[in-house]
Chains A and B, each alone.
Chain A
C-alpha cells in the first residue's frame, strides 16, 4: 500500500516559513504527491500536487527530491489561520491518508 511518513507535530512562528517534510519512499514513477490540510472538523482542503518538478501556487510551494522519495511543503509566511493538520499523500487506486502533521502557528 502507498504509505507516507510525516512528523506528528510541528510549531512555527507567525510570519516565518513553515517547512513540512514528508517521506514517500515507495512512490512509483507515475504517482503524484498531493498535499491537503484539514482545519478542525472541516473537509480536507487541497493545497498543491506535483510529480517531479517543484511546484508553486498561491498557497504554498512543493519541493520534491530528485529521487522522489521525499518532499517538503513550504508555507512561505505562516499565519495563525494556517494552523491545521497537513497530509502528504499519493494516489494509487485511492487516496490513503496517514496521520499527517499537526502544524501549530504561534504568535
Chain B
C-alpha cells in the first residue's frame, strides 16, 4: 500500500539550512509535494516536483528527489523564524486519487 514517512521534529538555528526528509513507497507517484502548515491554518503549497525530475529550486527552497530510493527532501536555505511550522510531504499516485500524506515534520527555528 501507499505510505509516506517523515521524521516528526527538526530544530535548527536561525540562518542555518534546514533539511526535511521524506520517504514514500508508491513508485507510480507522478507528483510529490511539500506543504507548510502554520498553527491554526490550512495547508500552503510550497512546491512540487514531477517524478521525472531530480531537483527543483525555488528561491530558498530546494527539492531533491531520488526516485530509486523513493526519497524526497526539502532544503530551506537561511532558515528564518517565520519558517517555523509543520511541513507535510505528500505523494500523488496515478489517476485522480487523493494525496497520501506523511505525518508532518515540526520545524522549530531557534533565534
Is B truly associated with A?
no
| Chain B residues near A (Cβ < 8 Å) | none
| Chain A residues near B (Cβ < 8 Å) | none
